[in-house]
Structure 1
């Protein structure tokens, strides 16, 4: 029996369900949509330029560079992985267009990546999937290991680099992480996948001053007004009011 072809957009799901509104969720619901994207083109064609080449313009008009990643190959793996989780479609840009890889790069170089504000002493026991952080590894160490394993899986399964894979092949590897089929040291593959997915969504919807949500396009897709100084002129309106979003960087 032939498998039914479904014209299904993960972004349609995000928009209609209301999950990606800033109150980000855990669990497997968004990650479970991997493979549902009907566009299986090679995602590497949209990857951001490496740090040694031409960069895109940041929200403030500055030239963008890398902070945590010193290896352009690792950064390209990250970029393509985030694009598969949050793809470009008819509703707007995907993770790459929103600058999500740069957001994650900046976060991994700071307190988030270094776990500098968290208790990181032993004992380190293997926790349940419902528990929080249990690893001796810092988040940036988890990301680095996870991206290296994505590359190894691409070489092992398809005999090519991760960034050269077709979309469905990338999805296969990401799904293997989500289903905890990949062996990682000091952390489970599932926990790493949850971090990657959460960081991708945070980069898509965080204030642009943190280097993601380029042009506030993530907010525009959700109709979110951002950080308005006041709603005094709209609060009594009986009609739906569309408000141009504002970033913290636009406040005076």
Structure 2
């Protein structure tokens, strides 16, 4: 969202993005739900209430299109619009909405990623350097909820409208304010929330579809990534370029 990033086309970004293939398993965002709710069990939300769908008929609890964490429709709508500004639809393919990225993030916040499981979360909590990684006393799910509320508040303060009711340029202005640490947050820097949101958005765009993002493997198709093939033994000796249809861990192809 910084000024220098605006001149980088999405085509160039897709060619060079570090979060490229959805092959990160464990330790990162994509590993957050491994072993969690794979059979559709354990689908209570963070506040102990039942699941809420986002309006689609197939958004039952435990499905890739079902919500596990967000019980408030407005909060989920703010998240959805924010991710779409970070990864917008264009002539190359769908954006965050079309790829199901908001559902991916929702699922991750309901699992190990959102709860910072197996991570050291004891004090003291001091403002760390950029190279020191996670320093907040808050868990990721708490940071996301606070960040979404602050994003809505910032939109109302600047434009007297909710984040979901302002236009794209205005949304960019609000998101950029977070990137530049111009918004006050409790227990975490606004810039840190922005980096979490951006990272989760990109990983949702390129994760295996079984985790709720990369719907239809369209993220992989834009990068011509083959996904999780069983083997390449029938292609390794060919001198010709091989165009391979992607396959997911869940058996999609």
Question: Contact conserved, 1:108 with 1:114, CA < 8 A, in 2?
Answer: yes
User: In the comparison of the two structures, how many residue pairs are matched?
Assistant: 216
Following the alignment from structure 1 to structure 2, what is the Cα–Cα distance between the partners of residues 172 and 88?
A: 19
1:13 maps to 2:7:
no
Give the equivalent residue in structure 1 for 2:229.
228
Following the alignment from structure 2 to structure 1, what is the Cα–Cα distance between the partners of residues 191 and 15?
A: 26
Over residues 192-236 of structure 1, what are the superposed CA-to-partner deviations in whole Å (9 max), with x where a residue is unaligned?
100000000000001111110001100010000010000011111
Question: Greater CA deviation, 120-129 or 200-209?
Answer: 120-129
Over residues 65-118 of structure 1, what are the superposed CA-to-partner deviations in whole Å (9 max), with x where a residue is unaligned?
211000000000000000000000000000000000000000000000000110
Following the alignment from structure 2 to structure 1, what is the Cα–Cα distance between the partners of residues 7 and 193?
A: 26
Question: Contact conserved, 1:56 with 1:64, CA < 8 A, in 2?
Answer: no
Over residues 29-50 of structure 1, what are the superposed CA-to-partner deviations in whole Å (9 max), with x where a residue is unaligned?
xxxxxxxxxxxxxxxxxxxxxx
Following the alignment from structure 1 to structure 2, what is the Cα–Cα distance between the partners of residues 192 and 175?
A: 12
Question: Contact conserved, 1:120 with 1:136, CA < 8 A, in 2?
Answer: yes
Question: Contact conserved, 1:55 with 1:63, CA < 8 A, in 2?
Answer: no
- How do 1:232-247 and structure 2 match up within 5 A? 232-247=233-248
Give the equivalent residue in structure 2 for 1:140.
141
1:191 maps to 2:179:
no
1:166 maps to 2:179:
no
Give the equivalent residue in structure 2 for 1:206.
207
Question: Contact conserved, 2:21 with 2:227, CA < 8 A, in 1?
Answer: no
Over residues 108-134 of structure 1, what are the superposed CA-to-partner deviations in whole Å (9 max), with x where a residue is unaligned?
000000001101111111112232011
TM-score when normalising by structure 2: 0.80
Following the alignment from structure 1 to structure 2, what is the Cα–Cα distance between the partners of residues 129 and 8?
A: 25
Distance change (3 Å), C-alpha of 1:195 and 1:160: same
Question: Contact conserved, 1:69 with 1:105, CA < 8 A, in 2?
Answer: yes
TM-score when normalising by structure 1: 0.81
Over residues 125-153 of structure 1, what are the superposed CA-to-partner deviations in whole Å (9 max), with x where a residue is unaligned?
11122320111000000000000000001
Following the alignment from structure 2 to structure 1, what is the Cα–Cα distance between the partners of residues 106 and 66?
A: 9
Question: Contact conserved, 1:182 with 1:189, CA < 8 A, in 2?
Answer: yes
Instruction: Extract unaligned runs of 5+ from structure 2.
Output: 1-5, 24-51
1:151 maps to 2:152:
yes
Aligned residue for 2:88, secondary structure, equals coil
